Amino acid sequence: MAVETNGDILISDVIAYPLTQKLPQPTITSWGRYDEVSIVLVEVRTDAGIVGIGETLARFAPHAYAHLIEDALKPRLVGQPAGNIAAHWANMRRALSGRAGGMLLEAISGVDIALWDILGKAADLPVHALLGGIGRKRIDVYAAAVNWRDDALMEEQLDELLEQGFRQIKIKMASPVADACRKIELMRRRAGDEVALCVDANWAYGLDEAVEVGKALADCGYVWFEEPLAPENEQGYEELRRLCDVPLAAGESNFTVDQAKRLVTSRTLSVLQPDVARAGGITETRRMAELARAFDVDYAPHIGMSGIVCETASVHLSAAMPNFRIMECEGDRSPFKTELADLAPGCLRQKDGTLDVPQGPGLGLQINWDAVERLRAPE
Ligand SMILES: [Mg+2]
């Protein structure tokens, strides 16, 4: 039953919980080694007793993010009708008079996700239905990731992921060009021709190197080459697109639709990968996915090293967006995925490379508040 409101539901409080935990196994990309991970959980309370939960991507200084949310964003929200999400988004973004990006947008993302959770609970509808979803009950997911550093380990990790039923698998790659090309062939031979493979370089290459790696990927039938270059090098992406045939994917480093515009409208990217806990929440990620749809570019959510709230918000977007292709699914077993809420995380409930879409009101998550206390970042 929809909640009886007798008018607007008003926001009464915004609380940010900085969380930090050691990972059971370090995550290694070309960008660095992560032994621990942090996020900020955002709780938005209302005078109707409905509580919304969001998540902010906060790779460093989670206390600083929490202060930003409570000091700069909360005063713009308390006393306002919870349902006016686009107005809140614009008002929060006005905290910064410069170009959008960085910590502020990540902070807004957490609040925005929580506001969609409230709207869904008030309407007794799952978020994907509020988004005018197209009714997907299951979504396709791909496994992230096989790590490039050791051939034997690569084969072992690939075999494990194939055994788990994944039909698309990502290879993290940052080897020098010749070794990268060899490993690209090695993985293709091992996986066979039926499995979709993609490579994520996390900006490991310069343009000339990326062209060589990209040609090897095209020859071996990989479905995309993710973040070969630094995200600021948009001209480099455009040249790379002209010089090799492998489809390009990027977007996890972008904030807002404006930062996706050039590479989407030029169709330099074939796949756009915004992170809902970074790019500006559900509101802005939907705008990015819709821009991509208008230019025949696919939407494939990034969720790297995030918690269950980011992952679940991404599932709702995946269920709703017409141009959704496939969602990332991580096996890092971070406590933010396994302990923070009652819903089993993506990789644990995936079957044959697909994942069920939660059908409860809002995001469909029950937060384990004991775990929130246990996972708190030390002062
Ligand atoms: Mg990536």
Q: What is the CATH number of the domain that holds 80?
A: 3.30.390.10
Which structural domain, as residue segments, surrounds residue 274?
129-365
Q: Is residue 298 located within the same domain as residue 159?
A: yes
Reading the block at residue 74, the tokens are: 């909360």
Kindly give the distance from the C-alpha atom of residue 219 to the centroid of ligand 1, in angstroms, as a whole number.
22
Cα–Cα distances in angstroms (integers) from residue 345 to residues 161, 315, 342, in the given order: 16, 11, 9
Q: Is residue 60 located within the same domain as residue 87?
A: yes
**Residue 218: HSE in the Cβ half-sphere, 13 Å Cα cutoff:** 15
Q: Is residue 318 located within the same domain as residue 247?
A: yes
Kindly give the distance from the C-alpha atom of residue 154 to the centroid of ligand 1, in angstroms, as a whole number.
18
Q: Is residue 330 located within the same domain as residue 251?
A: yes
Kindly give the distance from the C-alpha atom of residue 45 to the centroid of ligand 1, in angstroms, as a whole number.
33
Stated pTM of the model: 0.97
Q: What is the domain count for the chain?
A: 2
The DSSP element (H or E) to which 102 belongs, if any, is helix 102-123
Kindly give the distance from the C-alpha atom of residue 313 to the centroid of ligand 1, in angstroms, as a whole number.
18
Kindly give the distance from the C-alpha atom of residue 251 to the centroid of ligand 1, in angstroms, as a whole number.
8
What is the per-residue pLDDT for 304? 83
Q: Is residue 179 located within the same domain as residue 79?
A: no
Q: Are 293 and 260 in contact (CB under 8 A)?
A: no
Kindly give the distance from the C-alpha atom of residue 2 to the centroid of ligand 1, in angstroms, as a whole number.
39
Kindly give the distance from the C-alpha atom of residue 303 to the centroid of ligand 1, in angstroms, as a whole number.
9
Do strands 11-29 and 32-46 pair parallel, antiparallel, or not at all (unpaired)?
A: antiparallel
d(CA 305, CA 60): 12
d(CA 158, CA 37): 24
Say how many C-beta atoms besides its own lie within 10 A of residue 71's C-beta: 11
CATH number at residue 249: 3.20.20.120
Kindly give the distance from the C-alpha atom of residue 179 to the centroid of ligand 1, in angstroms, as a whole number.
20
Q: What are the residue ranges of helices labelled H in 278-353? A: 281-294, 308-320, 335-338, 346-349
Kindly give the distance from the C-alpha atom of residue 117 to the centroid of ligand 1, in angstroms, as a whole number.
26
Q: Is residue 341 located within the same domain as residue 196?
A: yes
Q: Which residues make Cβ contacts (< 8 Å) with residue 282, sequence separation at least 6?
A: 112, 113, 116, 127, 131, 276, 313, 316, 317
Kindly give the distance from the C-alpha atom of residue 122 to the centroid of ligand 1, in angstroms, as a whole number.
35
What are the mean pLDDT values of the chain's consecutive 10-residue runs (379 residues total)?
66 98 85 91 98 97 98 98 97 95 97 98 97 93 95 97 96 97 98 98 97 98 98 98 98 97 98 98 98 98 94 98 97 90 91 96 97 96
What is the per-residue pLDDT for 6? 52
Q: Is residue 90 located within the same domain as residue 232?
A: no
Kindly give the distance from the C-alpha atom of residue 196 to the centroid of ligand 1, in angstroms, as a whole number.
16
